[in-house]
């Protein structure tokens, strides 16, 4: 299985490659990708340097063009596809049909991966994207159980990539309206959930902190309580007389214990989430998964998830907690 790691900037890209990533994924410094945070992403020159660094070591670079343009701005996404082809990335990762169609017609030799944001959860949906847009790979949404992933591996016409580790985006990928409902800025169109300019932290007497997104209270933290970046889905709300994480716990997906099962199923690539995270995260998480994948390749029968690997991953998880998320939910 290929290990695909996040690169929010050039130092993170080099770190990921040095730590053993088979491929990195990155984005332009604009709203064409779903991590349009200030200070992140790449200009053309940095992408050229990143590609040179990766290719010199036999690794690949994928470019995320995975937001949904509105028709007035479609030309900007088309230019981004042209630019990706000119720069020589190994593949683009796209979700919107107009973007995929343009790429397929205009740059047929530029490999296309269907983004997680494309929300393809069935074999017919994957077959349609393959036949219509010639996708070379699809990234599955993080809403599927492991049994569903296994079935898709048997029936999909193209190799599949799944998320292995990182923050969870719990809604049907590419369809969440929570952040845009609260802020008016859509993650799917503008590339960032809970934009930092809408986030306000207040400290109160006794050290309690509260966090608001565009003046909507989404959580309160006790003085020593760890607090992750605030998103609406992971806030605590009053429901039925109780205050709790009504939608999702602040926790990270960690599928390490499923690695043998995903390998057996024929998953082609494991993706690490976190272009918004620093080089220390990229280094530790990439090295851990590299070691786990390599150990499994050499001795699959003897493979177990080492406690040291799990400890490292937990230390870099959101809220220091991990979950198998939908991979193991019985209600599927
Ligand atoms: S609010 Fe949560 S589920 Fe919705 S886009 Fe943001 S992280 Fe994803």
Question: Over the stretch 221-268, which tens digit does the pLDDT of each residue have?
Answer: 999 888 878 999 999 999 999 999 888 888 899 999 999 999 999 999
Q: What is the pLDDT of residues 316-326, one digit of tens each?
A: 998 788 988 88
Structural domains counted in the chain: 2
Residue 36 has pLDDT above 80, yes or no: yes
On whether 176 is known to bind a ligand per the annotation, the reply is yes
**Per the annotation, does 104 bind a ligand?**
no
Q: Report which protein residue has its CA nearest ligand 1's atom 2.
A: 233
* DSSP annotation string for 112-153: EEE-GGG---SHHHHHHHHHHH--SEEEPPTT--HHHHHHHH
Q: Do 320 and 286 share a structural domain?
A: yes
Q: Specify the pLDDT at position 328.
A: 83
Residues 119 and 226 occupy one common structural domain: no
193 labeled binding residue: yes
User: Helix, strand, coil shares of the chain as percentages rounded to 5?
Assistant: 40, 20, 40
The domain containing residue 220 runs over which residues?
178-244
Query: What's the CA gap between 255 and 258, in Å, rounded?
Result: 5
The answer to whether residues 159 and 272 belong to one domain is yes
Higher-pLDDT residue of 171 and 72 is: 72
Closest Cα to atom 6, ligand 1: which residue? 193
Structure confidence at residue 175 (pLDDT): 79
Q: Is residue 173 assigned to a domain? A: no
152 and 233, same domain (yes or no): no
Please tell me the predicted confidence (pLDDT) of residue 192. 86
The answer on 204 and 261 residing in a single domain is no
Summarize the confidence of residues 81-88 as an average pLDDT.
98
Looking at the predicted structure, is the pLDDT value of residue 91 above 60? yes
Give the pLDDT band (50/70/90) at residue 331: low
Of the listed ranges 154-158, 170-174, 305-309, the one predicted with least confidence: 170-174
Give the CATH number, domain containing residue 159: 3.20.20.70
Residue having the nearest C-alpha atom to atom 7 of ligand 1:
169
Q: Output the six-digit token pair for 213.
A: 């997104």
Q: Which of 141, 172, 178 to mutate to test the pocket of ligand 1 (most atoms within 8 A of CB)?
A: 178
* One domain, residues 276 and 189: no
Predicted confidence (pLDDT) at residue 172 exceeds the cutoff of 60: yes
């Amino acid at each position: 299985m290929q290990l695909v790691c996040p690169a929010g900037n050039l130092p993170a890209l080099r770190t990921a490659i040095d730590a053993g990533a088979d491929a990195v994924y990155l984005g332009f410094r604009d709203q064409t990708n779903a991590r349009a945070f200030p200070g992140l992403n790449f200009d053309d020159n940095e992408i050229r340097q990143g590609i040179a660094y990766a290719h010199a070591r036999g690794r690949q670079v994928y470019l995320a063009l995975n937001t949904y343009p509105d028709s007035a701005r479609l030309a900007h996404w088309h230019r981004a596809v042209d630019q990706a082809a000119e720069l020589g990335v190994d593949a683009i990762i796209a979700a919107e049909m107009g973007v995929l169609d343009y790429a397929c017609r205009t740059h047929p030799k530029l490999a296309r991966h269907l983004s997680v944001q494309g929300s393809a959860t069935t074999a017919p949906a994957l077959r349609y994207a393959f036949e219509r847009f010639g996708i070379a790979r699809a990234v599955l949404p993080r809403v599927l159980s492991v049994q569903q992933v296994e079935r898709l591996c048997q029936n999909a016409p193209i190799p599949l990539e799944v998320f292995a580790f990182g923050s969870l985006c719990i809604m049907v990928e590419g369809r969440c309206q929570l952040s845009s409902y609260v802020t008016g800025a859509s993650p799917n169109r503008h590339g960032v959930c809970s934009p930092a300019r809408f986030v306000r932290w207040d400290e109160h007497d006794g050290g309690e902190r509260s966090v608001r997104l565009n003046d909507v209270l989404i959580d309160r933290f006790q003085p020593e309580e760890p607090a992750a970046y605030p998103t609406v889905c992971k806030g605590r709300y009053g429901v039925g007389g109780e205050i709790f994480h009504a939608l999702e716990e602040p926790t990270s997906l960690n599928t390490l214990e499923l690695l043998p099962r995903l390998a057996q199923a024929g998953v082609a690539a494991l993706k690490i989430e976190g272009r918004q995270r620093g080089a220390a995260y990229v280094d530790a998480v990439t090295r851990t998964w590299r070691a786990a994948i390599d150990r499994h390749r050499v001795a699959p029968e003897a493979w177990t998830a080492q406690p040291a690997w799990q400890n490292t991953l937990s230390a870099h998880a959101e809220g220091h907690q991990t979950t198998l998320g939908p991979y193991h939910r019985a209600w599927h």
